[in-house]
């Protein structure tokens, strides 16, 4: 056959025509095959299995029915967390599936040995309820228990246990379902990794949970911590309570929560929960925030921090050859400004005002003071030679403001579970111990604690430190405040502790064996709260050669009450009458504040100059006990 060209061009034979268009036909064919197979795969994996009953919680055993959307397909399932295959249990619709105990069911649809659906995870809790959130974590058992790849075991490596390996290659895929009040809040794929140092050797181990490793938009969008505003999480930690695992299960949470509304220190939110691992009850854990870049982006959302500019430095086992802290998050050169700070402090007299100002332009001095006071008051035996972490926002400026955008270094409270006399005396004195100020141990002369020691050469810093310490002793660390928080945290897990002890009590020597033993450990916390303030006040008197202490009592008078400031503290109507102890012959600042409905009028006191009592701001230097009344009137 010849095709005639109307424009008198050379005829095009059909054979040549096919040859010319063949490459295009191949491309079209490949496209059609690929698109159809991809469409088919997507369509297949969108097939869902249906579980009846759908409710995850039941007071009694249930007869489970799994419904397939495709006729003549087979359902295979597992009960141990492993991924179903055609070699798994075959679901028989005529019999159903009897669920008698807490169970994780993973099921998928197959036909001719080909998987037709994604794997469906379903957790059933039989005759089980808890006031705590429930985290059900499921993963293929070899990810936990295999000697080669398992993260929960010692493994075959003769030099280091699998569960202590921290690099990302030891993350394992898993699935998380999160429940509150017997309702599933979210369910999604995650990665897991063992977390912790020495506590990783405990039978109940901590985990890091990673939500956005492979899918950046896979973050959790839920307010997990009711006392915090944060709702977005790219990762979380579930903690076994570290070295407090043997004792109360909330020690670090206690110390961090005491600081939450009383300081500007960064703290990690904490919420107790129950964990199930591949369907097995795994006891009480504390769900915690992690100090990663997402932590600062979310918790300082008003400042719109850019993740790439957040730098976190740590000590502990992360020192470089010079004894300086390594940059944990960021680049090595990001630590240059801190190295320069260390060298400046080491080589200059901070009693000179201009030198002192250069230092406080590089560090948030109020944050630094609160951080050291907290660690000292807590008698943290595992600090400062370890568990020392700080951060800054890199923006090429250093200036003294109250904003994290100012580029200054700030310190982070974490891993305080050796505090509150867990493994040390309740009269521990960091002011004279071979730590913070006396830097003879742990290579201190080449370490960041040198900043703390030399700052005490400056009288302004010394006075600020002493004043703030007494403010916190009269507020966050006051006996009744601490004991109230201890009782609040212990009440959260009181109903769950018996099950937890039954699960872990016989696993290792020294572990809790009864609820009574747990109560005894809580009493030790309360005993510390009652006795520690007196020890610390005596330490301060001796080290700073104070003349002694006086008691101030503040009352209010009038038909309404606004607020009163005492140094750095702001006292509202719920605080009065208020008692506090302060050093004799040291300045104390008082200020009467007005509100929209209540005006401050004056002060009343028999111990002060009547002329001064008309001022709302007082700066006094008491030489004996003082009683003073703030007078208010309605607007």
Q: For 399-429, what is each residue's pLDDT tens digit? A: 667 688 889 999 999 999 999 988 767 778 7
pLDDT value for 3: 41
pLDDT value for 313: 85
Q: Residue 615's closest CA among 634, 596, 631?
A: 631
| pLDDT for residue 434 is more than 80 | no
pLDDT value for 346: 84
Q: For 283-322, what is each residue's pLDDT tens digit? A: 999 999 999 999 999 999 999 999 999 999 876 444 555 5
Asked if 245 contacts 202 with a C-beta cutoff of 8 angstroms, the reply is yes
Whether the bond between 286 and the residue before it is cis, its omega within 30 degrees of 0, is no
Mean pLDDT of 443-452: 53
Q: Residue 123's closest CA among 133, 134, 110?
A: 134
| pLDDT for residue 365 is more than 90 | yes
Cα–Cα distance measured from residue 587 to residue 175, given in angstroms and rounded to the nearest whole number:
58
| pLDDT for residue 163 is more than 80 | yes
Query: Looking at 418-562, which runs of residues are DSSP E strands?
Result: 549-557
The b/e string for 470-499 (b: 16+ C-beta within 10 A; e otherwise) is bbbbbbbbbbeebeebbeebbebbeebbee
Mean pLDDT of 203-224: 89
pLDDT value for 437: 43
> What's 485's DSSP letter?
H
Asked if 589 contacts 571 with a C-beta cutoff of 8 angstroms, the reply is no
Q: 2: pLDDT confidence band, cut at 50, 70 and 90?
A: very low
pLDDT value for 20: 61
Cα–Cα distance measured from residue 355 to residue 4, given in angstroms and rounded to the nearest whole number:
96
Mean pLDDT of 159-179: 96
pLDDT value for 445: 38
Q: For 584-630, what is each residue's pLDDT tens digit? A: 999 999 999 999 999 999 999 998 989 899 999 999 999 999 999 99
Q: 440: pLDDT confidence band, cut at 50, 70 and 90?
A: very low
| pLDDT for residue 41 is more than 80 | no
pLDDT value for 386: 78
Q: Residue 284's closest CA among 81, 504, 487?
A: 504
R_g of the chain computed on alpha carbons: 32
Asked if 409 contacts 363 with a C-beta cutoff of 8 angstroms, the reply is yes
| pLDDT for residue 9 is more than 90 | no
For the entire predicted model, the pTM comes to: 0.89
Contacts within 8 Å (CB) and 24+ apart, 563-567: 563/593, 563/595, 564/590, 564/591, 564/592, 564/593, 564/630, 565/589, 565/590, 565/591, 565/593, 566/471, 566/474, 566/590, 567/467, 567/468, 567/470, 567/471
| pLDDT for residue 29 is more than 70 | no
> What's 159's DSSP letter?
S
> Which residues are paired to 236 by β-bridges?
209
Task: Choose between 223 and 444: higher pLDDT.
Answer: 223
Burial of 503 (0-12, 13-18, 19+ CB in 10 A): middle
Task: Choose between 39 and 513: higher pLDDT.
Answer: 513
Mean pLDDT of 216-220: 82
Average pLDDT of the chain to the nearest whole number:
88
Contacts within 8 Å (CB) and 24+ apart, 431-435: 431/376, 431/539, 431/540, 431/543, 432/539, 432/543, 435/383, 435/384, 435/385
| pLDDT for residue 56 is more than 70 | yes
| pLDDT for residue 479 is more than 80 | yes
Q: For 513-571, what is each residue's pLDDT tens digit? A: 999 999 999 999 999 999 999 999 999 999 999 999 999 999 999 999 999 999 999 99
CA distances from 92 to 68, 77, 87, 89, 537 (A): 11, 11, 14, 9, 72
| pLDDT for residue 138 is more than 90 | yes
pLDDT value for 337: 86
pLDDT value for 463: 96
Q: 214: pLDDT confidence band, cut at 50, 70 and 90?
A: low
Query: Looking at 457-543, which runs of residues are DSSP E strands?
Result: none
Q: 1: pLDDT confidence band, cut at 50, 70 and 90?
A: very low
Q: 438: pLDDT confidence band, cut at 50, 70 and 90?
A: very low
Cα–Cα distance measured from residue 389 to residue 394, given in angstroms and rounded to the nearest whole number:
16
DSSP-based three-state secondary structure for 377:
helix
| pLDDT for residue 396 is more than 80 | no
pLDDT value for 333: 87
| pLDDT for residue 237 is more than 60 | yes
DSSP-based three-state secondary structure for 22:
helix
| pLDDT for residue 40 is more than 70 | no
Task: Choose between 397 and 635: higher pLDDT.
Answer: 635
pLDDT more than 90, % of the chain = 73
First to last CA, the chain: 106
| pLDDT for residue 15 is more than 60 | no
Q: Residue 260's closest CA among 244, 271, 246, 275?
A: 271
pLDDT value for 38: 39
């Amino acid at each position: 056959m010849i095709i005639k060209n109307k424009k008198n061009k050379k005829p095009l034979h059909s054979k040549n025509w096919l040859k010319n268009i063949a490459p295009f036909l191949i491309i079209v064919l490949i496209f059609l095959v690929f698109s159809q197979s991809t469409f088919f795969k997507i369509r297949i994996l969108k097939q869902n299995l249906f579980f009846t009953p759908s409710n995850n919680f039941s007071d009694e055993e249930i007869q489970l029915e799994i419904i397939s959307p495709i006729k003549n397909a087979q359902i295979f399932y597992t009960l141990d967390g492993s991924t179903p295959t055609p070699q798994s249990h075959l679901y028989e619709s005529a019999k159903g599936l009897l669920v008698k105990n807490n169970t994780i069911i993973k099921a998928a649809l197959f036909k001719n040995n080909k998987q037709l659906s994604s794997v469906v995870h379903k957790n059933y809790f039989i005759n089980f309820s808890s006031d705590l959130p429930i985290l059900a974590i499921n993963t293929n058992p070899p990810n936990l228990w295999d000697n080669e790849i398992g993260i929960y075991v010692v493994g075959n490596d003769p030099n280091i246990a699998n569960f202590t390996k921290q690099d990302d290659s030891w993350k394992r895929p898993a699935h998380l379902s999160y429940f509150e009040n017997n309702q599933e809040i979210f369910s999604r794929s995650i990665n897991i990794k063992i977390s912790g140092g020495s506590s990783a050797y405990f039978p109940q181990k901590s985990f890091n949970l990673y939500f956005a490793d492979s899918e950046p938009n896979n973050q959790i969008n839920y307010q997990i911590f009711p006392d915090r505003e944060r709702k977005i999480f790219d990762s979380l930690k579930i903690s076994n309570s570290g070295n407090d695992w043997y004792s109360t299960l909330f020690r670090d949470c206690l110390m961090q929560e005491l600081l939450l509304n009383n300081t500007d220190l960064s703290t990690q939110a904490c919420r107790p929960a129950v964990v199930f691992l591949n369907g097995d009850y795994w006891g009480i854990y504390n769900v915690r925030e992690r100090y990663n870049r997402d932590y600062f982006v979310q918790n300082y959302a008003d400042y719109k921090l850019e993740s790439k500019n957040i730098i976190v430095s740590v000590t502990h086992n992360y020192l470089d050859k010079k004894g300086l802290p390594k940059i944990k998050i960021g680049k090595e050169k990001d630590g240059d400004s801190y190295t320069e700070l260390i060298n400046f402090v080491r080589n200059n007299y901070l009693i000179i005002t201009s030198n002192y100002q250069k230092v406080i332009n590089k560090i948030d001095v109020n944050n630094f003071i609160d951080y050291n006071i907290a660690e000292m008051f807590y008698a943290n035996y595992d600090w400062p030679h370890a568990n020392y972490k700080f951060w800054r926002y890199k923006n090429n400026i250093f200036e003294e403001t109250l904003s994290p955008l100012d580029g200054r270094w700030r310190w982070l409270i974490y891993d305080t579970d050796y505090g509150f006399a867990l493994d040390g005396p309740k009269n521990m004195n960091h002011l004279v111990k071979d730590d913070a100020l006396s830097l003879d141990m742990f290579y201190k002369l080449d370490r960041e604690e040198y900043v703390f020691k030399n700052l005490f050469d400056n009288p302004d810093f010394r006075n600020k430190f002493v004043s703030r310490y007494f403010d916190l002793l009269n507020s966050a660390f006051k006996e009744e405040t601490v004991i109230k928080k201890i009782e609040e945290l212990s009440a959260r897990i009181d109903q769950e502790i018996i099950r937890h002890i039954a699960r872990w009590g016989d696993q290792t020597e020294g572990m809790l064996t009864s609820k009574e033993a747990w109560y005894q450990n809580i009493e030790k916390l309360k005993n510390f709260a009652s006795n520690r303030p007196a020890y610390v006040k005596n330490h301060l008197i001796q080290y700073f050669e104070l003349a002694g202490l006086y008691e101030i009592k503040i009352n209010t008078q009038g038909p309404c009450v606004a607020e009163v400031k005492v140094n750095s503290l702001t006292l509202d109507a719920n605080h009065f009458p208020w008692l506090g102890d302060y050093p004799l012959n040291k300045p104390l600042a008082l200020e009467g504040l007005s509100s929209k409905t209540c005006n401050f009028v004056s002060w009343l006191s028999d111990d002060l100059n009547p002329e001064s009592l008309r001022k709302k701001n007082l700066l006094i230097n008491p030489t004996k006990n003082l009683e003073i009344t703030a007078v208010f009137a309605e607007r």
